[in-house]
Amino acid sequence: MNPTLMPFSVTRGASKTKSSSTFWGMSFFASGCARRVLFFILICVCCGLYASDGKEGPGQQAVVVGGKEMEEKGQDEDLFRLRDSFGEQHFFPEGGFILRQGQQLPKLVWEHPDLIGRVLKNITIPTRWFDANFKEVEVARTLGRYYVYGEAPAPHGPVLRRAMTCFCVKENTDLSLLAEKEVLVVEPDPKKKQALIDNVVNTWRMTEEGVLEFAALMETGFDRRPVRKGQWQMENATRHVQLKRKRMGLDVRPPVMVSPRSIKTNPAPVLRVGSDAEAGITQAQLKALEDQLDGWYAEAQEPTAVVIARRGVIVFSKGYGTVDEQPVTVNTPMLLHSAMKPLLGIQLATYLDRGFLKLDEPVGNYLADFKAAEDRDLTFRACHVHTTGIHFPWALAFARHFYFHTWHESLIAHCKRDWAPGAKHQYGVVGMILSVRALELLRGLNYWDAMERDLFAPLGIRNMLPGGTGFSAEDLARLGVLLDNHGKYGGWEFFSEETYQSILPASLKPYFPQLDMTYGIGLQSYAGRFGAGSYGHGGGCGTQLIVNPEKHFVFAMVRNEPGKAYGKHLNEVLALLDRGVGDELDE
């Protein structure tokens, strides 16, 4: 299966079948928009922003007990919640994201100005506009992309720094006609057809996700060739990194380069097909392994792909089930979720190895909102081993996926602190976000864009989707072989032995005296499940990348759901590998 964006059928009503109403590419952003709307409704309900009579009533409670006293108490609680989560508030260009040639560029406005006015005396957002070349402008004189940047006031903490992409069209451009003729809306019922067209136009105009699709379609002349899901978002995120560097005055220095070094001596092992003898496995052992994995799929019926290698030689390679009505292969991109963390650890290692930053230096050296004294221990290590102390709940993490949100750290700067950095460990994603935002400023590219150029291309990794929303088992195994080779792959050295050792799971006590535990940079210990020294990381979707450095095994599995009895089956497969397969080669 190619990792591409295909035409998408709109399902109407409660039916689970595809309708005949089809238009180009809306799957690119539809789910994200839905999540944002649902999340906002959830926040409104939780914060009491809807009254019991169904009318909007900031501060009113769904159930009023005790009259005015309880209502005032509820209002105080609402204000507290608003102040506590102020970084989550939205603002956008007045009038929407599509501009008309010749117009005065609008100001940024709050999504809910009345609500913001309860905690701010002045809700005006200082607004600046930049054209496609990042030249500051006040009028939309040329067609194409524009970027609007705002530093919104906040009741406490730093200003909210955010920028958004807009697109300028000719004054007489008929968006409905474009939606009808170029987006290929097919619907025989005129009213339903017009409703679909209006929905497309409204999404283009009123959401940044929508205008990104519109911009890409306009720039390519509505070329209908399939595009990787997330490609437009990634490219846009890189433009925002460049704007961010300009706003911070970093563009006076060229971005760093993080290319691998050529190995002058013998090349390192690569992922490859080889003999059973070379891999150190017998046919009987291979049969036992296949039976175990076949049995797992038979019980769970969860589409999956598995690649197992030893010293680079592929021991097992098989896909199970179907995804999008296509048979799963080891080249089918599937979800990563937290199995992305080893990738981020490897990426960080390449920067560490070249001296661009240090593992135990504060991220505040790169991110302006984290320069306070309380953040002096908020280091890259603290970020990757989950000891930031920043309150960033999973609901917020999933509602605001960090993949392409270049200005995300401004939101995080307004999250409350549960404890000082390094005092406690709590698994999450907030540290990863801060780390990649810092790397982006050094590299001048969105973090995933940089990985594709600096890491994936030299490794031959091709079957993946921007942001880690899809990654194949075979490509994940290549990263495992890179780790098993201590930073080398074929004729390339990505990082040195010293850097490799620095990212492995190790005691955190020397760095954080209050923490008596072992953790690595994007890597957890699997010693109890896959043998001495084993490490790796899994995702909530069931994807796993695990390395046994003693036996030089790499286990790479991708799937979109864990499925039935996941833990039991995973442990059985790892135990089978650890206790027998490959022992002959070590003797």
Instruction: Give the domain CATH number at 504.
Output: 3.40.710.10
H or E segment and range at residue 538: strand 535-538
In a domain, residue 305? The reply is yes
pTM for the predicted model, two decimal places? 0.86
Buried b (16+ CB within 10 A) or exposed e, 124-146: ebebbbbbeeeeeeeebeebbbb
The domain in which residue 483 lies consists of 284-586
How far is Cα 459 from Cα 452, in angstroms, rounded to an integer?
10
Q: Does residue 268 form part of some domain?
A: no
**Contact yes or no for 494/255 (Cβ under 8 A):** no
Written as tens digits, the pLDDT of the chain (587 aa) is: 444 333 222 222 333 333 322 333 333 333 344 433 333 333 333 333 333 333 333 333 333 334 444 445 556 677 777 877 898 999 999 999 999 999 999 999 999 999 999 999 999 999 999 999 999 999 999 999 999 999 999 998 899 999 999 999 999 999 999 998 766 667 788 898 889 999 999 999 999 999 999 999 999 988 878 899 999 999 999 999 999 999 999 999 999 999 999 998 899 999 999 998 999 889 999 999 999 999 999 999 999 999 999 999 999 999 999 999 999 999 999 999 999 999 999 999 999 999 999 999 999 999 999 999 999 999 999 999 999 999 998 888 877 778 999 999 999 999 999 999 999 999 999 999 999 999 999 999 999 999 999 999 999 999 999 998 999 999 999 999 999 999 999 999 999 999 999 999 999 999 999 999 999 999 999 999 999 999 999 999 999 999 999 999 999 999 999 999 999 999 999 999 988 665 544 44
Task: Give dist(CA 412, CA 165) in Å, integer.
Answer: 21
Q: Which is nearest to 267 in space by CA: 493, 455, 472? A: 493
Is the same domain home to 498 and 393?
A: yes
Residues 153 and 101 in one domain: yes
Q: In the listed set 250, 269, 293, which residue is the last one of a domain according to the structure?
A: 250
Q: End of a domain among 250, 269, 300?
A: 250
Domains of the chain: total: 2
In this structure, the answer to whether residues 407 and 454 fall within a common structural domain is yes
DSSP 95: T
